[in-house]
Every structure is written in C-alpha cells, then in structure tokens.
Structure 1
Amino acid sequence: MKMINCRSKDKVDQPDKHMTEVEGRSVELKCKYKTDSAQDYLFWYIQRANDFPKYILRRSKYGGEDNDAQFQERFHSEVSSDSVPLTIKDARVSDSAVYFCALSQEIITCASV
C-alpha cells in the first residue's frame, strides 16, 4: 500500500501588529514569507470594521501582478525573495483597518511515502 504525505511549507509573518501614522504620509506594512514553491502568489487583503475582507492586490516573484480597481492609485507592493511589503501613499483615516498578507493556498508539496 502506498501512502501520500502532503504538507505545505509556506509561512507568512506580519511583524508589525499595530501601526499609527499621520494622515497624508506613506505607510509601509511589512510581510515576510517563506516558501519552497517556485510558483507562489502573494496577496494583500483589507478588513474594515464590521465588514468582510476585501482583495487589494496580488504579486508573484516572477512578475505577475494585479490590483483591484479601487486600490490601484495609492496601494503598491514590490515582491522580493522573502518579503512583500504593502505601501499606502497619502494615508487617510479611512485606511484604518486590519490588513492581511497571504500566500496562495493552492500550492502544496506532496511526497510519496
């Protein structure tokens, strides 16, 4: 009998749990990640009070990127080999929210045992 063992090796960490910034300045939200996958996608989401999470943008280490239309002007991200910080230009009070960084859930590593 052959068993298949699958496990994800992805890890995401947002070291800054709380941030405060003056209105009108740029804010950088940090997100560090670790993955063994060559095809990973990194995402940012926003969740405002009493609302559900909303997609902001997607980045890939190999150049794939996409921003939701309402976040194209002030929300930017550049992915590196281990981080994908989110920069918010011209911060506004309405940007106050919880921000989530995530890796694609579709990528897993499987090995036969």
Structure 2
Amino acid sequence: CKGEDKVIQEQGDVIAAEGDTVTLRCRFETSDASPTLFWYKQEVDSYPKYMLKCFSETTDKAEEFNNDRFDAKINKAEKSVPLKIQKLQLSDSAVYYCAVRP
C-alpha cells in the first residue's frame, strides 16, 4: 500500500522589504526514499514558472533563477525543502508553490 505524496505550505503571506532575505517553508510527505521536490513562481495574470528542483544533494535551477539569490535544499530530517530568496527585489512579489514528484 502506497501512502499519499503531498506538500504542506502553511506560511501564508510573507511581508518583507527590498534587500531583505526570506525563507519560504515547505514540508513534504512521501514514501519515496529519494524524493524530487520542485519550486514554482506565479506572478499576477501568469502561469506558474518552474524555478528549480531538488533531489539527493543536488539543486537544478532554471536559467532565470540560476544565481546566488535563490537557493533550496532538501532537509531529509525535517522532510522540508525551504526556498531562500536573498537581496529581495520588487519583481520577487509572487505566489510560490512547492511540489513533490509523485
């Protein structure tokens, strides 16, 4: 019997100023011993854009997010994959989604 794979984002709105650093939390539940987690960014009136994926000790970023401002790593002990955004810019204002590969 396979359990349900899911992510939990309980944080709600995050208020921050330009130049700040924020960490967006995401917990996951999966029966996969080596899960793959994703982060997406959705701006107003647009579709969710793929940002990055984390698997094992590796983080693979989309070209647009392939810089030092964005980082995420899987924390297996906490079953979480926090997304850290540094040097915040106005253009970072969006809804962020994490997802787990089923």
Note if 1:83 corresponds to 2:77: no
Stretches of structure 2 lacking an aligned partner (at least 5 in a row)? none
Q: Distance in 1 between matches of 2:16 and 2:90?
A: 10
Q: TM-score, normalised by structure 1?
A: 0.81
- How many equivalent pairs are there? 99
Largest Rg, 1 or 2: 1
RMSD: 1.3
Moved over 4 A (4+): none
The offset of 1:47, in angstroms, is 0.3
Alignment deviations for residues 84-111 of structure 1 (CA, whole Å, 9 cap, x no partner): 0000010111100000000013xxxxxx
The offset of 1:39, in angstroms, is 3.0
The offset of 1:36, in angstroms, is 1.1
Q: TM-score, normalised by structure 2?
A: 0.90
- SS of the aligned residue for 2:16 comes to coil
Alignment deviations for residues 44-90 of structure 1 (CA, whole Å, 9 cap, x no partner): 00000011110000001x22320001101111011111000000010
Q: Distance in 2 between matches of 1:7 and 1:46?
A: 29
Q: Distance in 2 between matches of 1:46 and 1:70?
A: 11
Note if 1:14 corresponds to 2:9: yes
Among 52, 60, 64, the alignment partner of 1:70 is 64
Residue number in structure 2 paired with 1:40: 35
The offset of 1:8, in angstroms, is 4.9
Q: Distance in 1 between matches of 2:42 and 2:3?
A: 25
Stretches of structure 1 lacking an aligned partner (at least 5 in a row)? 1-5, 106-113
Residue number in structure 2 paired with 1:55: 50
